[in-house]
Amino acid sequence: MGARQAWAQRCTYWLEPKNWLIVTVVAIGWHADGRAGLGWGLLAALFTAVLPTLFITYGVRRGRWSDRTVGARRPRLVVLAFITASVATGLILLLVLGAPRLLTGYLAFMLASVAVLAAITTVWKISIHCAVASGSVAILALSFGPLVLPAYALVALLGWSRVVLKDHTVAQAVAGAVLGAGAAVLAYAALVLWARTGSASSR
């Protein structure tokens, strides 16, 4: 393996969906409810990032897929099905326990996003890595302001790594990034409206 491929592999590992999701759900939790929201965010991270990562790692060790990126279509759909179940479980738990509406809404958005990505994956290998990274930067920028936007340099770096490793074409990486950002913008508008509606009705 050349130096270029080695760096690309490191970038893919450092910028994998798990890391983006942990940062995002914890940040959204804090944004929604301060210190208490951090706890809600950590609970959400367990279901959105930690459990799916453990499942993927278990599959690699058992030889069900070759690596953590799960490139083959059928195993990829199996992983997406597990992620759907895990996020749905987390969403139900957060709703029952009374988590902030902004955070539960974000998990609902994640469920819808996974469904869309799974549908596309049946016919075309869109980059889930780029979709998650781009969506995370977009929703964090909308929540905390434009100073977050330079993090799109990391999204570009991730896209480069996916193409260099030949896991995706340029089109698949770009499509993932565009889909992730667009979905995040639409979802954030809906989430803010939903959260405000909940606040108004509780007065």
* DSSP labels, 156-196: HHHHHHHHHTTSS-HHHHHHHHHHHHHHHHHHHHHHHHHHH
Residue 167 lies in a domain: yes
Residue 180 lies in a domain: yes
203 band by pLDDT with thresholds 50, 70 and 90: low
Number of domains in the chain: 1
The pLDDT of residue 80 is 92
Percent residues over pLDDT 70 in the chain: 96
Structure tokens at 3: 């130096």
State the Cα–Cα distance between residues 94 and 48, nearest whole angstrom: 12
The pLDDT of residue 135 is 95
Which pLDDT tens digit goes with each residue over 136-185? 999 999 999 999 999 999 999 999 999 999 999 999 999 999 999 999 99
The pLDDT of residue 65 is 85
State the Cα–Cα distance between residues 83 and 91, nearest whole angstrom: 12
Which pLDDT tens digit goes with each residue over 39-72? 999 999 999 999 999 999 999 998 888 888 887 8
State the Cα–Cα distance between residues 78 and 165, nearest whole angstrom: 22
Q: To the nearest 10°, the Cα dihedral for 73, 74, 80, 84?
A: 150
Task: For CA atoms 13, 15, 17, 21, give the dihedral sign.
Answer: positive
Task: For CA atoms 142, 143, 147, 152, give the dihedral sign.
Answer: negative
Domain range holding 10?
3-195
Among residues 190, 143, 111, which one has the least CA distance to residue 23? 143
The type of residue at 56 is I
Residue 188 lies in a domain: yes
Residue 200 lies in a domain: no
State the Cα–Cα distance between residues 157 and 140, nearest whole angstrom: 18
201 band by pLDDT with thresholds 50, 70 and 90: low
Residue 203 lies in a domain: no
Q: Distance from first CA to last CA of the chain, Å, rounded? A: 61
Residue 202 lies in a domain: no
